Each structure stands twice: as structure tokens, then as C-alpha cells.
Structure 1
Amino acid sequence: MIVISVLALAFYLLAIIASLHLLLSAKPTGQHKLFACVAFALIAHAITLGAEVTQTNSGQNLSMLNVASLVSLIISTFMTCAARRFNGWILLPVVYGFSALLLTASALIPSRYITHLEAHPQLLLHIGLALMAYSVLMIACLFALQLACLDRQLKSRKLSQLPAMPPLMTVEKRLFQLISAGLFLLTLSIASGLFFLEDMFAQGKSHKAVLSILAWCVYAFLLWGHHTRGWRGRRVISLSLIGSAILTLAYFGSRFVKEVLLN
């Protein structure tokens, strides 16, 4: 697994170089090299992560770093498949960089959080929906940052000359599409938790549910303001970043304290 991890890291680094070359070149050429490197990186990442999660016979190791690595794998896969349609080339170096960083951290910092998904299939459904919702909303966060950069350049009249830089209106449209999809998945995740998890609001776990619901309210408020009041620009960007911060705190806050700071 160490060899495969090193290969995944190497291909991620090659993908970062290829994506930067694609951004800086006068013509968007060399996409096949980028996709080849990413394909090998994603396959090696998935194999490594699968081994990390199933390394024990007593359950699945869903430690914070393993879960974060899984989220980065989902985001990298989605962004690679949607780069052309979403015109998100400029985000690829950031996405692949985070995947490489989390893959390295997961390999170098061993941690354990054993669960038994085979005995609780409803928990698998809840976790799956939660991870998909978080991944989509984190991609929306990246688009919000990209929108903020474009908005700032437009107002300062210093438009980027990068050929792969998308129009501001396109980024804004994709941002709302992603937030809508993420909010739908988050709704299903919260509903599945309320339906299947009896201890969702138990002591020591209630903060996750409360923060997740608070994040849901922020995203719902954002979409309501956009559709009824025509909110755009900085207000949308700020609310999107606030929602992603609250959701990250809900998913990883207590786990970070228990598994990293106190371990």
C-alpha cells in the first residue's frame, strides 16, 4: 500500500503540473495528458483508501483523515469529470493539491475510528448522503472563491488573461446549481438521520445535528434571497463560505479535537 500511495501522490503532482500548464498556455492543449495522470492518481487513491478503511476485521476505520481523504477523492473525481462542462480548469490544481495533502496525511498520521456499517445498513445510507452533500457544497465553496476572485478583478479592471478563466456569469450560475444540489442532498442526509438514528441528539452528538441544521438554514436562506430578492455578488459569496464553514465544523470539529488534539 505504501508503494501505491507514493504512486498516487506522484500522479497527483503530475496532474497539478499538467493543469497549471493547461491554464498558462495560450491554447488549452494537453488535456489528454492531464486526464491520464488524474485517472492513475484517482485509481491509486481509491485502492489506498479502500485498504485503509478495511484494514481491520472488526469493522471499518472511518477516522477523520480517512473520511476527509474520501471527500477529497469524491471532489477530485467530480471536478475531473465536470471540468469541461463547468469550465472549472482553474480549480483543478487546488483540488488535486488538497487530495495529495490529505492522502499523505492519512498515510503518515495513523488514526482509528471503528464503525460497523455491515450491521447497520441505514447508517451507511446516512453517511453516504452526508458525504455527498458535503462534497457538493465544498465544490460550491470553491466556485464561490472563484467568483470572488473574478468579481474583484472585474471591479479593479484587471481581468485575468488566462485562457481557461470562465466568465463571471457562468461561475455564478454553476454556483447556484451546486448549492441547490448540495442543499437537496443535505436535506436527505438530515432526514435520514432523524429517521434512522435514535441518538442523533444524544449528549456528545447533538452539536453535529444542530450545526448541520444551521448550515441547512444558511444555504436555504441564500437560495431564498437569490430567487426572491435577486441576491448576487458578495452577499452570496459570504453566505456560501459561512455555510461551508459551519458544515465543516459539524462534520469534523469534534473529530479533530478527539483524534488529533487529544490523541
Structure 2
Amino acid sequence: MDMLIAIPAVCFYIIALLLVVPGLTSNNGIKTQPVFVTAIIAIALHLLLLKDLILGASGQNLSILNVASLISVIVASLTTFAILKMRIWFLLPVVYSFAAINLFAATMLPGAFITHLESQPQAFIHISLALFSYSTLMIATLYALQLAWLDHKLKRKKSLQINPNIPPLMMVERQLFKIIIVGYGLLTVTLISGYFFIGDIIAQGKTHKAILSLLAWIIYSVLLWGHYRQGWRGRKVVWFSLAGAFLLTLAYFGSRFVKEIIIGS
């Protein structure tokens, strides 16, 4: 049954990719409506599948692959709705490929990490905030990579304005920091909620998550300070964004990856 949902969802993600990629390599305009409709169908099927994979009679199955798939569909949803307002075509191939791969992996490689969030509403709030903060900052990381690519092309004196699907460098930078501010705010609330809502957040096995998340928060704090107070741009912004994303990824998935994928327990 899950495969009957997964295969069409992957197919619709691929169709969305095929509608976007040719426009990135030519001067032809990308039509927003077909991409949006196709992606929404893929996302709807993705969410339907996750409902079956995560929600069960014994509790919520938040295995590492299910969580990765959930994050990927959140990122896909946010970026898909963003195309109605912004030129973010450059991000979509990565976003939709990531969503399709995670969806397929979660379906083909089932794991188990059962929780009971219905009896812990405070934990549900904390996890929801963590998912949205991580997803938002991952979108910011993709923006940072786009910024680095545009900066590289401009320094090599290659004109990018000919292609109407590629946004100007300064527009990408402004959008990047708007997204970082939103993600930073969500991460701040996540850390605060973890301190108040999760009683054993500093218990063995969770200390590293709190420390790594706090280090990522410090990096994003320095990045925002450096940009708005010291005028940081370019490579420094990209490297700080990547460092923050790397620390958050270690915090959210590091130990779970070792336990569930490498050790298999």
C-alpha cells in the first residue's frame, strides 16, 4: 500500500524537476502554475504516506528516515509556496530531489523509534518547533549555496542577467537573511522550550544535542551581528551558514544515525 503512494509521489516530484531544470539552462521562462500544481500533488501524496509511516496504534514512529522525510516535505512545501512570490527556481531541483529520495528511503527502509506525543504535549510543541527551525535554516543553507554560486559567476565576469530565472545577487542576499532571521527566531524558541518543557534535556544521551544546538545558535548570532553591524557578505556569510547547518544536523541526527543506521539498534 505504501508503495502505491510512494511511486506516484516520486513521479510527480520528477515531473516538477523536468518543468524547472530546462529553464535554468536556457533563457526560456519557467511557468509557475504547472510547477506549483505538480509539486503540490507530490507533497500531498508525500504527507499521506508519512501519515501511514509515522502515525500508528502503538504511538508515533519518529525513526531517523521518517523524520528526515518529514523535514524534506516541510522544506518542499515552504519553497513551493515561495515560488508564487520569489524567483527561487535554482533551489527547487535540490529540494525536490531531496524530498523524493527521503520519501523512497523511508518507504523501502522502515525503522522504529516509537514515541507517545499524545501524552506529552510539551514534547510535541518542542519537536514541532525544532522541525520548523531546522527546515527553515536548511532553506537558508540552500540560499547561501546559491549566493556562493552567483558570486563565483559574477567574479568570473559571466553575465547572469540574461537568464530571467536567475535572481540578482543582492536579492538573493536579502532573502537569505530574511530566512535566517526567521529560522534563528524559531531556533531560539526551540532552545527555550527545550529547557522548560523537556525535563531531562541535559540527561545522558541528550546533552550533546543541547550543546550542538546552542553552538549553532551562537554561530547564527555571530553571523547576523557580523552582517548587520560589520557588513559581512560573500564567502564569510556562506561559511557561517554552512557551519550552523552542519552543527544542527549533528545535533538532530548524529546519535540517531549511529544507533539506527550504523549499529542498527
TM over 0.5: yes
Using the TM superposition, give the Cα deviation of residue 29 of structure 1 relative to its aligned residue in structure 2, in angstroms. 4.2
The TM-score with structure 2 as length reference comes to: 0.96
| Deviation sequence 1:88-145 (CA, Å, 0-9, x none) | 1111111000000000110111101000000000000000000000000000000000
Contact 1:22 1:30 in 2 (8 A): no
Provide the rounded CA distance (Å) in 2 between the counterparts of 1:149 and 1:253.
Answer: 28
Aligned residue in 2 for 1:46: 47
CA distance in 2, matches of 1:34, 1:59: 35
Q: TM-score, normalised by structure 1?
A: 0.97
Aligned pair count reads 262
The aligned amino acid for 2:44 is: I
Match of 2:95 in 1: 95
Q: Which moved more, 1:243-252 or 1:17-26?
A: 17-26
Cα distance in 2 for residues equivalent to 1:72 and 1:147 = 21
Unaligned runs of 5+ in 1: none
Provide the aligned C-alpha RMSD in A.
Answer: 1.1
Q: Within 5 Å, which residues of 2 pair with 1:46-195?
A: 46-54=47-55, 56-160=56-160, 161-195=162-196
Report the 3-state secondary structure (helix = DSSP H, G, I; strand = E; otherwise coil) of the residue aligned with 2:67. Answer: helix
Give the whole-Å Cα distance in 1 for the aligned partners of 2:128 and 2:244: 20
| Cα shift at 1:25 | 4.6
Q: Deviations over 1:185-204 (max 9, x none)?
A: 00000000000111101111
Do the aligned partners of 2:20 and 2:30 also contact (CA within 8 Å) in 1? no
Secondary structure of the structure 1 residue equivalent to 2:85 = helix
Q: How does 1:248-259 map to 2 (within 5 A)?
A: 248-259=249-260
CA–CA distance in structure 1, aligned partners of residues 114 and 11 of structure 2: 29
Given the superposition, is the C-alpha separation of residues 53 and 91 from structure 1 closer, same or farther in structure 2, using an over 3 Å criterion? Answer: same
Aligned to 1:26: 27
**1:103 maps to amino acid:** L
CA distance in 1, matches of 2:37, 2:85: 18
Moved more, 10-19 or 20-29: 20-29
> Which residue identity does 2:230 align to in structure 1?
R
Residue identity opposite 2:194 in structure 1: G
Q: Deviations over 1:215-248 (max 9, x none)?
A: 0000001001111111111111110000000000
Identical counterparts, % of pairs: 48
C-alpha displacement of 1:32: 2.1
